[in-house]
Structure 1
Amino acid sequence: MACARLSDRRIISIAGPDRVAFLQGLVSNDVSTCDAHTSIWAALLTPKGRYRADFFLSAQDDRLLLDIDATRADATLTQLKRYSLRAKIEISLPEGQVYAGWDVPPPSGACADPRLPQAGWRKIILEGADMLQCDHDLADYAAHCLALGLPPSSIYQIDETLLLEANFDLLNGISWIKGCYVGQEVTARMHYRGGVKKRLVPVTTPQACLPDPGTILTLEDGQEAGEMRLAHVQTGVALLRKPFWRRSFRLNGIEIMPSPPAWFPNDDSDI
């Protein structure tokens, strides 16, 4: 099967009678929609609306499970415990594995990737249960996602990235009707006032390779197109200013060509 074990992910468990209400007031998406067959993609923000972590959230038995980038897990666990106060919850880091599959039907207990149908499915298996047999690896899954315009969590900068710049609004990562959460005011203001001036956009080059991540894309005429965030030989992702979302440009002799994915709106006035 087209399945990969995602060795770069960890699992956070939140149990207890207040688990839904607790997370509902913290994260960007509607926790009440999670069940055994439905997951959400959500982010945890600072009070100023900046990114701290993102994760897939699903329900299993009497607990909620966060499927999160391993490098974000410990800090997120600490932050959740700080917010817990008198909430009747239990937060832990259980052992287990996260799997993802694409181009094949999902196994029992899997949830569709909530970002895009083409992304496939995800499944959490806790320690003690039978694991899945896979014929793909983490690099295959990363390439599959990048081809869809879905970058890894590592591309989002902690305490800096805004959700709309990271396309959470285009990929079902935000609920606009569920009510308040930490950082909601800044996120809603950008959405309703049309304040999105930069977005993450896949880019390519016909040259040997793209500039290194972190490179500021300043053109010869002094215009700043944006910043490279991910580069893998001839494909990558850049945080581009709106005039460059569909406009090719050159940097030190390298032609950089934005390639917005199919889910990126055709009319810039819509975003």
Structure 2
Amino acid sequence: MAVASSRQPFVCLRRLPKTRRTYSTTQTPLPPTPPASGAAKLTTRRLISLHGPDAPKFLQGIITNNLSTATRSGFFAAFLTAQGKVLHDVFVYPTLGSGFHDLHNKTEDPGFLVEVDEKETGNLLKHLKRHKLRSKFALRVLEEGELDIWSVWREQEKWTPHPALPSSQGANIDTQGNITLIDTRATGLGQRILLPSTSALDTFSSMQGVQDVGLAAYTIRRYLRGVPEGQDEIPRDDVLPMNTNFDIMSGIDFKKGCYVGQELTIRTHHTGVVRRRVLPVALFDSASSPPEKIVYDASTKVAVPERNTEIKIEGKRGKPGKWINGVGNVGLAMCRLELMTDLQVTGEPSTFSAEDRFIVKSEQDAKALGVKAFVPDWMKSKIRAPKLQRRVE
């Protein structure tokens, strides 16, 4: 009598048909349209504390923005590789004079909190320790629940100063000793506030008149302005800071001294041409006309493409860009400026045509989504026109 075997038949995984899903499932329902005023707890971000006499000098040598012992206002910056590519996008908060500093540091030595993508906390900590050597400062990651990071925006605060307020104004501490920072990356992004996790929001003067509307509202507002953030949108060691708009988002001081990655950054700024930038884009049915302006639609039925999906020109060859991330019908894409927009960044004739249609298309699905890139006014005013080369006869 034969005994039935319980073993499953062998299947060679290499011979299974490969499938590649280009479109992810659309959220149902989508987040509502962000209100004109609101607040969002940034659960995707984490804080690292540096405190000690050498903290300013140490940070000055490895970040893209300018910092000194007199710095009192927070700012946006980046850590770069030696080759000038972005490792981490960060916000730096001076803590001296705040309730956090008085409670935890208890000295007059300068201190800073560095805000980074939560998933990159360990990598940034290793990066800091690698460069620390004998510098005199303490380094630690804040525990979860120690301080919460909030983004707050109000309807009447439509414009943001560029660059940030002078450090002598000490504008980073509110009346209750909480650390604040003006978000200078784009107009209307508001400010960031670091608050104790155990306290009710309505007890803080900085939060008066706003309600917690969720992280999705903050994300949509970023996308509409063309502001990338975090590892998913600024891949580690993959792009130059100009490609992700650090130069026009007050993230680089081109007059400061040496720092890691400075050589290529300065050379690109003064002699190079930035052909690719992250821009806000709108998705639409490819059978309909492209939208005239970018507006978030919570009732949209389009499916968001997966990251790094190639954008193509309908009926033509070429690689005008790549999709990065999005919510509903709005998102971010890395775009070749002279292919997807009417901006001219070189002295050569522009290849942009108003008749071109840009699409994101699946290899398995014949249906394609239309894509249209937009250049916000705040961004257009900061992208430099090409220099005219004079011929010497």
TM-score normalised by the chain length of structure 2? 0.63
Cα pair distance change 1:34/1:218, threshold 3 Å: farther
Cα pair distance change 1:269/1:19, threshold 3 Å: closer
Partner of 1:255: 370
Partner of 1:101: 152
Aligned 8 A contact 2:248 2:382 in 1:
no
Q: CA deviation at 1:269?
A: 5.2
One-letter code aligned to 2:374: S
Poorly superposed stretches of 4+, deviation over 6 Å: none
- Could you say which structure has the larger radius of gyration? 2
Match of 1:235 among 323, 330, 334: 330
**Which moves more between the two structures, 18-27 or 221-230?**
221-230
One-letter code aligned to 1:176: F
Query: Does 1:76 pair with 2:124?
Result: yes
**Which moves more between the two structures, 239-248 or 75-84?**
239-248
Partner of 1:5: 41
What is the SS of the residue equivalent to 1:31? coil
Distance between the aligned counterparts of 1:231 and 1:124, measured in 2? Answer: 26
Query: Does 1:147 pair with 2:224?
Result: yes
What is the SS of the residue equivalent to 1:78? helix
Q: What is the aligned-residue RMSD (CA, Å)?
A: 2.4
What is the SS of the residue equivalent to 2:59? helix
Match of 1:39 among 42, 54, 74: 74
**Which moves more between the two structures, 69-78 or 244-253?**
244-253
What is the SS of the residue equivalent to 1:221? coil
Query: Does 1:212 pair with 2:306?
Result: yes
Alignment of 1:8-27 (within 5 A): 8-27=44-63
**Which moves more between the two structures, 87-96 or 117-126?**
117-126
TM-score normalised by the chain length of structure 1? 0.90
Aligned length: 269
Aligned 8 A contact 2:224 2:330 in 1:
no
Unaligned runs of 5+ in 2: 1-36, 97-109, 158-172, 203-210, 286-301, 342-351, 362-367, 387-393
Aligned 8 A contact 1:210 1:234 in 2:
yes
Cα shift readout 1:55-96 (whole Å, capped 9, x = no counterpart): 110111241011111011111011101100011111101232
Distance between the aligned counterparts of 1:112 and 1:267, measured in 2? Answer: 19
Partner of 1:165: 243
One-letter code aligned to 2:123: A
Q: CA deviation at 1:117?
A: 4.4
What is the SS of the residue equivalent to 1:163? coil
Distance between the aligned counterparts of 1:157 and 1:34, measured in 2? Answer: 32
Q: CA deviation at 1:136?
A: 1.6
Cα pair distance change 1:125/1:139, threshold 3 Å: same
Partner of 1:183: 261
One-letter code aligned to 2:212: D
Distance between the aligned counterparts of 1:148 and 1:266, measured in 2? Answer: 14
Alignment of 1:129-148 (within 5 A): 130=199, 132-133=201-202, 134-148=211-225
Distance between the aligned counterparts of 2:70 and 2:191, measured in 1? Answer: 15
Aligned 8 A contact 2:85 2:238 in 1:
yes
Cα pair distance change 1:33/1:200, threshold 3 Å: farther
Partner of 1:121: 191
Distance between the aligned counterparts of 1:120 and 1:34, measured in 2? Answer: 24
Aligned 8 A contact 1:94 1:126 in 2:
no
Aligned 8 A contact 2:323 2:334 in 1:
yes
Q: CA deviation at 1:223?
A: 1.1
Q: CA deviation at 1:205?
A: 2.5
What is the SS of the residue equivalent to 2:212? coil
Distance between the aligned counterparts of 1:169 and 1:268, measured in 2? Answer: 9
One-letter code aligned to 1:111: L
Cα shift readout 1:141-165 (whole Å, capped 9, x = no counterpart): 1112222222222200111111000
Unaligned runs of 5+ in 1: none
What is the SS of the residue equivalent to 2:94? strand
Distance between the aligned counterparts of 2:139 and 2:382, measured in 1? Answer: 43
